[in-house]
Amino acid sequence: MQGNLFNKIKDFLGKESGKDEESKPEEINESKLTSEQSVPAELSEKANEIVSTNHVAEKEAEQKPVHSPEEINESKLTSEQSVPAELSEKANETVSTNHFAEKEAEQKPAHSPEEIKEEVIKVLKTCYDPEIPVDVFELGLIYDIKVATNGDVLIVMTLTSPSCPVAGILPNEIEQKVREHPWVRESRVELTFDPPWNQRMMSEVAMLELGFL
């Protein structure tokens, strides 16, 4: 009786042990799955870290200048030095051109000799012999008016007589008045008594004024 009971207990324990053994492969498989699932998660985290690191590196590469500050400054200095040199050359060319233009303007009068001569005649008609109420031009005291291309004026004139009391005054007065005209660069009066002056040298205006007509 006791032997049968012992056998039953042994059989029962044997079955329980088999159940435990059967459950172990399942636990092993479950543990294996959990381990397999955790591995991809770790790989995913590392992959994310690599992608993030590459992204930061790309951003730094975009923000980082291609050239160093020293190279940029050197290039800037070279550019700044070349620009003034070019400007200096252009400025020299402009100054040279303006200089030649000024020289030409000085040599070339703004008005023709004929135009200047007409202006000189207008000035002469304001000059009088104090003893005669007729200007020197209408009186016939002006023999010639020569105007150079540079604006210089030469006036050849005479007086009513070599002993005229204004001989030392009138020529200087005429020379000064003509020189003051803006179109005249320089003026000079040359006094002559050849031919000697006579009444026939007067204009009709002067003759009428003096009662000879």
Please report which confidence band the pLDDT of residue 56 belongs to, taking 50, 70 and 90 as the band edges.
low
Residues 62-92 have pLDDT tens digits of 665 556 666 666 666 565 555 556 666 776 6
Please report which confidence band the pLDDT of residue 212 belongs to, taking 50, 70 and 90 as the band edges.
confident
170-179 helix and 113-124 helix, angle to the nearest 10 degrees: 130
Q: Which pLDDT score is estimated for 124?
A: 98
Please report which confidence band the pLDDT of residue 50 belongs to, taking 50, 70 and 90 as the band edges.
low
DSSP three-state, residue 213 = coil
Q: Collect all residues with Cβ–Cβ distance below 8 Å to 165 and sequence separation of at least 6.
A: 131
Mean pLDDT of 55-62: 60
Can you say whether the dihedral through the CA atoms of 147, 152, 181, 170 is positive or negative? Answer: negative
Give the amino acid at 111: H
Report the 3 state secondary structure along 131-200. Answer: CCCCEHHHHCCEEEEEECCCCEEEEEECCCCCCCCCCCCHHHHHHHHHHCCCCCCEEEEEECCCCCCCHH
Give the amino acid at 51: V
Model confidence at 4: pLDDT above 70: no
Domains and CATH numbers, the chain: 113-210 (3.30.300.130)
What DSSP string describes 58-111? HHHHHHS-SS-HHHHHHHHHHHHHHHHHHHHHHHHHHHHHHHHHHHHHHHS-SS
Residues 90-130 have pLDDT tens digits of 766 766 666 656 665 555 558 999 999 999 999 999 999 88
Please report which confidence band the pLDDT of residue 2 belongs to, taking 50, 70 and 90 as the band edges.
very low
